């Protein structure tokens, strides 16, 4: 049982995201029937070792859940990339440059990251700020989509 607690503690639940010591929300799925003795013993052990943990109860793993997990991982990868590339000499990084470095596409950004409540929540709590500036063409006309970059607060 202690191996399960150790495995949970190796997830992002221990990845500090701001100066207050907050960590990313972590979902752990244990594929045991909720009526089994093993589940009850495991739940008790986890609750004892990790007080305050939330048990979501019974769940059905569907394609939608898999998609939500994938998108949450993309958000996590995005912020890990921000942390890595803005911890050196670099003060600001453009969205395009960051996406290229962390191997995500513009489509990942628009459909899986930028519109997610998790992204907004983490951005608000993090040391980063998103900067939108008006893009202009060669003639100085405003373009419809802004340039997006990130920097430390």
Give per-residue pLDDT as tens, 47-63: 888 877 777 766 665 55
Say whether pLDDT at 67 is over 70: no
pLDDT confidence tier of residue 151, bands split at 50, 70 and 90 = very high
Cβ count near 24 (within 10 Å):
20
Cβ count near 5 (within 10 Å):
15
Residues of the chain with CATH 1.10.10: 60-153
- Section 65-80 average pLDDT: 76
Q: What is the pLDDT of residue 65?
A: 60
- Specify the pairing of strand 147-152 against strand 128-133: antiparallel
The pTM of this model reads: 0.52
Give the number of residues written for the chain: 153
Q: In sequence order, which residues have a C-beta less than 8 Å from that of residue 6 and are 6 or more positions away? A: none
pLDDT confidence tier of residue 96, bands split at 50, 70 and 90 = very high
Fold that domain 60-153 belongs to in CATH = Arc Repressor Mutant, subunit A (1.10.10)
Per residue in 124-135, pLDDT (tens digit) is: 988 899 999 887
CB-hemisphere CA count at 13 Å for 5?
14
In angstroms, what CA-CA distances link 79 with 40, 48, 56, 73? 35, 31, 26, 10
Rounded Cα–Cα distance for residues 94 and 112 (Å): 18
Per residue in 103-149, pLDDT (tens digit) is: 888 998 988 889 888 889 889 988 899 999 887 778 888 777 788 99
Q: What is the pLDDT of residue 32?
A: 72
Percentage of the chain modeled with pLDDT above 70:
89
| Contact of 149 with 95, CB cutoff 8 Å | yes
Classify burial at 152, counting beta carbons within 10 Å of its beta carbon; exposed 0-12, middle 13-18, buried 19 or more. middle
């Amino acid at each position: 049982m202690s191996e399960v607690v150790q495995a949970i503690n190796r997830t992002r639940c221990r990845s500090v995201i701001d100066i207050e010591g907050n960590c990313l929300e972590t979902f752990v799925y244990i594929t045991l029937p909720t009526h089994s003795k093993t589940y009850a013993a495991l739940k008790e052990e986890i609750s004892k070792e990790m007080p305050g943990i939330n048990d979501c109860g019974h769940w059905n793993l569907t394609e939608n859940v898999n998609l939500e997990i994938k998108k949450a991982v993309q958000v996590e990868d995005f912020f890990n990339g921000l942390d890595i590339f803005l911890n050196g000499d670099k003060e600001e990084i453009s969205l395009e440059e960051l996406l290229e470095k962390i191997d995500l596409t513009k489509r990942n950004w628009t459909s899986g990251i930028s519109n997610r409540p998790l992204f907004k929540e983490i951005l608000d709590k993090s040391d980063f700020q998103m900067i939108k500036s008006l893009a202009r063409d060669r003639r100085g006309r405003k373009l419809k989509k802004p340039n997006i970059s990130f920097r430390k607060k």
